[in-house]
A and B are shown apart, each in its own frame.
Chain A
Amino acid sequence: MIRTMILYTLVVLIMRLMGKRQIGELQPFELVITIMISDLASLPMQDTRIPLIHGVIPIITLLFLEIIISVLQLKSETARLIISGKPSILINKGKIDIDIMRAQRLNLNDLIQEIRLKGYYNLEDIEFAILETNGQLSIIPKTELSNATKKDLNIKCAQDSIPITLILDGQVNHKNLKLLDRDNKWLISTLNSKNINSPKEVFIALADSQGKFYMQTYEESSKNNRRKI
């Protein structure tokens, strides 16, 4: 049990050190490392005859390799090309590139399925389809079929910003208040104006992407739940 706890903590730490890429879309070398780490950690976990260090040393060595490879990729284009490969353009200017499809061992059904999953139903709607190095398909539709933006329609609007949490589970986040250039006094007076005496009554309060104050009390949350039941 203690071994499991130690190894679990180590693997979580290692995945954190590998960065966010490791828990999102994986490049081939990252996938290999993730599979190997899971196997290496499980061996000493189930077999007490194997010293923990026999699992820990290869895991740290893999972490080291992963970091070296990602730094190399960051610094050199050639390394990036060798390690991750380059994206393949499957549909180029509206035409399917059969040679690239063959090279990627991708059949037409796979391509059409991926295109459907991206929300396009007709092949002729697509100008470019790019198979990324992490296996995802990016699609650029024909310009006349792409969605109109606010800019296209000349609609004037303010830029949205990141919503900032001010109270979470009754606890005031003073750091975020400072970020907004506000203080506790402002928060209390805002709450008082909404007939709330203490932040402890608030389940969540935040400044939304438009900078407006939004909040929900515990009472409101529980009422809502009761209604659903």
Chain B
Amino acid sequence: MKNVLITLVLFLGVIIICSISVNYLNTISNDIYIENTSLKKYVETENWDKATSKSKEMSKHWHIYSNRCSVFVNHTLIDDLSLEEHKLDAYIQTKDKDEALASCDSIEFLMERIKKLETINLQNLF
């Protein structure tokens, strides 16, 4: 009976951890999406000063998020997004509008991919 109780407690712990991680992923993906959208607008209007500061701010946030995410997200996915983040920073520095916009789209796609991996759907189940 003791074993059954410990197992139930462990399983409940797993469910709690899973729901916390999914919640956290939803929150940070929304944050990144909002920041990325405003950054995209600055790049489109070629407002490079604001784009630079926004990109730095987003990098800082992503650095914090990625450290926490690495506990429950495959590190390869996090590395892909960090790499794109670095590329975007470099494109903004060189004022390369086309590449910067492409990078913004990549970041959006990668963040969405991380989020989608945790949702319950047929693609993830099979």
Do A49 and B75 have beta carbons less than 8 Å apart? yes
Is B124's beta carbon under 8 Å from chain A? no
Nearest CB of chain A from residue B57's CB, rounded to whole Å: 27
CA distance A53 to B4 in the complex (A): 22
Is the CB–CB distance between B75 and A64 below 8 Å?
no
- Distance in angstroms from A34 CB to nearest chain B CB is 16
A16 and chain B: residue at smallest CB distance: B3
Report yes or no: B75 in contact with A48, Cβ–Cβ below 8 A: yes
User: Which interface class (under 10, 10 to 19, 20 to 34, 35 or more) fits A?
Assistant: 10 to 19
Taking a contact as CB atoms under 8 Å apart, the answer to whether B72 and A64 are in contact is: no
**CB of A89 to closest CB in B, whole Å:** 33
Residue interface bits A29-57, CB-to-B below 8 A is 1, else 0: 00000000000000000001111011011
Out of A18, A51, A57, which one reaches B74, CB within 8 Å?
A51
- Decide if A196 is an interface residue (CB 8 Å cutoff): no
Q: A51-B72, A53-B72 are in contact. Are A19 and B10 (CB under 8 A)?
A: no
Number of interface residues of B (CB under 8 A): 19
A70 nearest CB neighbor, chain B only: B4
Contact B11–A17 (Cβ < 8 Å):
no
A63 touches B7 (CB 8 A): yes
A48 to B71, CA, bound (A): 11
Contact status A51-B14, CB under 8 Å? no
A67 interface residue (CB < 8 Å to B): yes
Task: Give 1 or 0 for each of A1-31: 1 = CB within 8 Å of chain B CB.
Answer: 0000000000000000111000000000000
Query: Would B14 and A57 count as touching, CB distance under 8 A?
Result: yes
Return chain B residues, CB-CB under 8 Å to A56.
14
> A53 vs B10: C-alpha distance in the bound complex, in angstroms?
13
A64 with B74, Cβ < 8 A, contacts A57-B17, A57-B18 known? no
Tell me whether A71 is interfacial, beta carbon within 8 Å.
Answer: yes
How long is the Cα–Cα vector from A57 to B11 in the complex, in angstroms? Answer: 9
Answer yes or no: B6 CB below 8 A from chain A CBs: yes
Say whether A180 faces chain B, with CB atoms less than 8 Å apart.
Answer: no
**A158 → B minimal CB distance (Å):** 35
Smallest Cβ-Cβ distance to B7: which chain A residue:
A67
Q: Closest B-chain residue to A67, C-beta based?
A: B7
CA of A57 to CA of B10, assembled, Å: 10
A64 to B3, CA, bound (A): 10
**Cα distance A60–B6 in the bound complex, in angstroms:** 11
| A interface list, Cβ under 8 A from B | 17-19, 48-51, 53-54, 56-57, 60-61, 63-64, 67, 71
Name 18 extra pairs, CB < 8 A, besides A60-B11, A63-B11.
Answer: A17-B3, A17-B6, A17-B7, A19-B3, A48-B75, A49-B75, A49-B76, A51-B70, A51-B71, A51-B72, A51-B74, A54-B72, A57-B18, A60-B10, A60-B13, A67-B4, A67-B8, A71-B4
